[in-house]
Amino acid sequence: MTLLRQSLVAGLLVNHALVFLKSGLKHGLSLSVVWWLIALPALAVEMRVAVGDRLSQAVVGSSTPAVIKNGAGQGVGQIPQGRSITIPPSGGGLRLADWQGQAFWVEPTAGGYVFINDKWYRGRVLVVPTDGKVTAVNWVDIEAYLYGVVGSEMPASWPQEALKAQAVAARSYALYRRDRTQGDLFDVASTTASQVYQGLASETPSVQAAVNATQGQVLTYGGRVIEAVFHSASGGHTENSEDIWQRAAPYLRGVADYDQDAPVFQWSETFSTQQIQQRISGIGRLQSVATERATPRGRIVSIRLQGSQGTRTLTGTELRQALGLRSTLCSLTLAGDTLRVDGRGYGHGLGMSQWGARGLATRGYNYQQILAYYYQGTALSNVRVANLQKQNVPLLPSPEALRPILGK
């Protein structure tokens, strides 16, 4: 598939508008969804996904015979079908069997799948040295990439309209990131640092159906693809972007959520003062805690912790990371040697709430309505991408069965 790395979102050409689809959500949630048809030639869009960043080594294989190429794209060898090989760092570069180089491509033939460390993926893989370690980047068609994202981010058993909303949000986020990483090694990570991507392991018929039904559809604002961030559950109400990021995005406005069925809608955690001392340095035994600033919805922006050895002020994000909390929408109470944290929701609270999308879908709303509700004032646009050759995923060997055979 031809690779096109030019910007797709900086100057989208709109040749003609389709229709204005107006619909009202129940319970007073009125909105309008604007459909635009962007008449562009079908493009093959590849995403570059870091599926292993700064590893001690990469284990790579293929379900079909795979061609090994060097960084210049010259073929240097093959990996037999169903075999794998270990690529460690070596002398500032990489070693692959008898070859030394600064980069290696592994490209399956005949529509095969590539094995990277412990998972199967579509597409191909580029392995490069990074700071004395190894980074593996999966180059994969965006629609195939979404097969591995949607099922990783949302249960495949959820309503189809929720899965479609997730597909459009994930596609929009991916293209937004891709347009801003032209000079970087990869566009997105495969973790929650971007959006979770587990390759073939998370593909199901319902996930593929949701991606296929929304092929090429993205959310735009002012003619540009938006940063369509999302989270698990807001705890009752999403946030305005400036209250979390300190920068305003007009389409990320706080709205009442429909995530009451989420198992993380309300939660609580307890920590001993000894645990706090181990996780947050410089304060000693915790003696008092006070929220200094919070968003209008109650998410902690900054908090002061005073202890026997000093006082520290942490951001809400720093507190969440230190204690492993589900969100910063919480209150802290210190009683003796026990700190109790009572909170709501899971994630940053911006954009679409996945549990809220599920809640709206079960109430009968379609994915267009769901997206327009969580991303205020956006248009649902269509970027024409090349059709994938649809194929059923065969039964592939387990990671344990595909261990290095050719590696040294």
DSSP conformation letters of 159-174: -HHHHHHHHHHHHHHH
Beta strands in 71-177 (DSSP E): 75-79, 84-87, 89-90, 93-96, 99-101, 104-108, 114-116, 119-121, 124-130, 133-141
Dihedrals φ, ψ of 264, to 5°? -105, 15
- Maximum alpha-carbon separation in the chain: 67
For residues 353 and 397, which has the higher predicted lDDT (pLDDT)?
353
% residues pLDDT > 90 (the chain): 78
Least confident of 33-47, 211-225, 270-284, 375-389: 33-47
pLDDT of 47 > 50? The answer is: yes
Tens of pLDDT along 287-340?
Answer: 999 999 999 999 999 999 999 999 999 999 999 999 999 999 999 999 999 999
Q: How confident is the model at residue 385 (pLDDT cuts 50, 70, 90)?
A: low
Strands 230-231 and 352-353: parallel
Task: Spell out a b/e string for 341-359, using b for 16 or more CB atoms within 10 Å of the CB, else e.
Answer: bebbbbbbbbbbbbbbbbb
Check pLDDT > 90 for residue 375.
yes
Reported confidence tier of residue 387, pLDDT bands at 50, 70, 90: low
Annotate 36-60 with b (16+ C-beta within 10 A) or e (fewer).
bebebeebebbbbbbbbbebebbbb
In this prediction, residues 159-166 reach a mean pLDDT of 98
Q: How far, in Å, CA of 405 to CA of 82, rounded?
A: 10
Are 133 and 56 a contacting pair, CB within 8 Å? yes
Question: Which of 13, 4, 53 lies closest to 182, judged by CA?
Answer: 4
d(CA 5, CA 364): 39
- Average pLDDT over all residues of the chain: 87
The span from the CA of 29 to the CA of 86, in Å, is 55
Where residue 123 falls (left for φ over 0; alpha for ψ -120 to 50; beta otherwise) is: left
CB half-sphere exposure, 383, CA atoms < 13 A: 23
pTM of the entire structure? 0.86
Please give the pLDDT value at position 258.
98
Question: What local confidence, expressed as pLDDT, does residue 35 receive?
Answer: 37
Chain-centroid distance, C-alpha 250: 22
Q: What residues does 124 pair with on adjacent strands?
A: 139
Give the pLDDT confidence score for residue 26 in this predicted structure.
Answer: 38
Half-sphere exposure at residue 153, Cβ-oriented, CA atoms within 13 angstroms: 36
37 vs 100, residue with greater confidence: 100
pLDDT attached to residue 391:
52
Contact assessment for residue 300 and residue 318, using Cβ atoms and an 8 Å cutoff: no
Structure confidence by residue, pLDDT tens digits, 303-315 = 999 999 999 999 9
Task: Determine the Cα angle at 389 with ends 176 and 170, to 5°.
Answer: 25
pLDDT at 31: 36
Distances (CA, A) of 216 to 40, 42, 45, 122, 387: 11, 10, 10, 18, 10
